[in-house]
Amino acid sequence: MKRTWLVMGLIMVLAAALTAPASAYPRYYEEPVRSAATSAAGEFNDIAYRVGVFGTLGYSNYLLGDENQYIDQLNADSTAAGGRTISHVNGGLTGGLGMTFGMSEFCQVGFEYEGLGAGTSGSLAPGESVTMTLPASEFGGFFKLVMPVEDRWLLSFGLGLYNLWVENDTEKYTFADGTAASYTFYGSSMATKLWAGGEYFLTQHLALGIDAGYRFARINHITDQNGVTMLNSDLSNFTLDYSGPFARTSLQFYF
């Protein structure tokens, strides 16, 4: 009889052990489980072999030394005659479009077009006005070193080589007697840009960016609408120098 009760007791203990929930026992190892959102986040800033298209909007300072020296001459003549002055052309808004390709997780190449806004206007004397419209355009390629930071950030350092040109830039003068005179500028040169920046991925495909850097961009040979080389008062070549620091924001879509 005692054996019967002993056997029945062992059977009950074994049955209880087999049917007990897993949580009743300590776990010595558990495979970490990542949610779909966490898994996706880890891939946000992986740009390897991905194509991106982007748009930029920013502001750039320019040297434009010869142009501003000419404005100084106009202002001096106007002041001597009791007239007003106009401001220098020191900078302007910029905007562009481009495309990138990730050569690896740490390297991007691409190309872009960017327009550089520049100009000034005002009245020098009663009934007289001057308008200087001096935008420039650049198109070329660039290389970026990229450093992923955490899940959503990219830091980058870029170097670009561009063709810079001005076309149909104008200086227009309107005089008190109603007559007018205008000059149209043409010219081109190579330009270089260096910058550092970052991107923050809102989703796997959409990123916001910001960068800042310096542009080396001077056109040393400018001609007018008749093809005549424009000169300074000392007979040196008139130049348009768009060199200067810049800052931009960008919106980029990755495929």
pLDDT band at residue 22 using 50, 70 and 90 as cut-offs? very low
Dist CA 216 CA 190 (whole Å): 9
Residue 15 has pLDDT above 50, yes or no: no
Asked if residue 60 lies in contact with residue 91, where contact means CB atoms within 8 angstroms, the answer is yes
Helix (H/G/I), strand (E/B), else coil: 205: coil
Contacts 24+ apart (CB under 8 A), 231-235: 232/66, 232/69, 232/70, 233/73
**Segment (H or E) for 115:** strand 107-116
Asked if residue 243 lies in contact with residue 65, where contact means CB atoms within 8 angstroms, the answer is no
Residue 9 has pLDDT above 60, yes or no: no
Which residues, other chains included, contact 209 with Cβ-Cβ below 8 Å and sequence gap of 6+? 54, 197, 198, 199, 200, 249, 250, 251, 252
% of the chain exceeding 90 in pLDDT = 72
Residue 139 has pLDDT above 50, yes or no: yes
Residue 167 has pLDDT above 80, yes or no: yes
Residue 32 has pLDDT above 70, yes or no: no
Stronger pLDDT, 202 or 125, i.e. the higher one? 202
What dihedral angle (degrees, nearest 10) is formed by the CA atoms of 58, 64, 70, 73? Answer: 80
Residue 188 has pLDDT above 50, yes or no: yes
**Which residues are bridge partners to 238 per DSSP?**
none
Domain 52-119+129-254 = CATH 3.30.1490.20: no
pLDDT band at residue 226 using 50, 70 and 90 as cut-offs? very high
Beta strand 180-201 pairing with 119-125: unpaired
pLDDT value, residue 10: 45
